[in-house]
Amino acid sequence: MDNDNFTPDQQMWLVKTDSMGCDGTGDFMDDCTNVMLNEFVNNPTFDIYPNPANDFIVIASKAKQSQSKNIELYNIQGQLVKQFKVANSELKIQVGDLEKGIYFVKLGRETRKLIIE
């Protein structure tokens, strides 16, 4: 079938993407969102509790902190909604102002799923 016979409104493209909207054609960090979901990490470097959460979460880092690190909270669309610096092993974050749904917490190179109820 020749595409020249179709008007632009009749033409359609199908692009396969992963759960974060990346098509896998380029360098992940350059061409796509910088959120990576590593749910099946054997040795997670931080915990989030309670999860699911309502009003607040506590992020407890298992790694020795030699310098402050960024904690980033992303919504399901991959948009940054909150960002914090943490210099010790635990940080309490208020999340009661966020809409209910699935979020991703990124600390260093690891990202964990968070549910807000």
| 74 part of a folded domain | yes
Digit-coded pLDDT (tens) for 59-117: 988 766 556 678 899 999 989 999 988 777 888 999 999 999 999 999 888 889 999 99
- Whole-model pTM? 0.63
Digit-coded pLDDT (tens) for 50-64: 999 999 999 988 766
- CA 68 to chain centroid, in Å, comes to 20
Which tokens go with 41? 């990490």
Which tokens go with 85? 């610096």
| 46 part of a folded domain | yes
| 7 part of a folded domain | no
CA distance 9 to 91: 51
| 16 part of a folded domain | no
| 21 part of a folded domain | no
| 100 part of a folded domain | yes
Cis (ω within 30 of 0) for the bond into 52? yes
| 81 part of a folded domain | yes
Residue 99 is part of which domain span? 33-116
- At 53, which CATH number? 2.60.40.3080
Upper half-sphere CA count for residue 18 (Cβ side, 13 Å) = 14
Q: Is the pLDDT of residue 19 over 80?
A: no
- Per the document, the length of the chain is 117
| 8 part of a folded domain | no
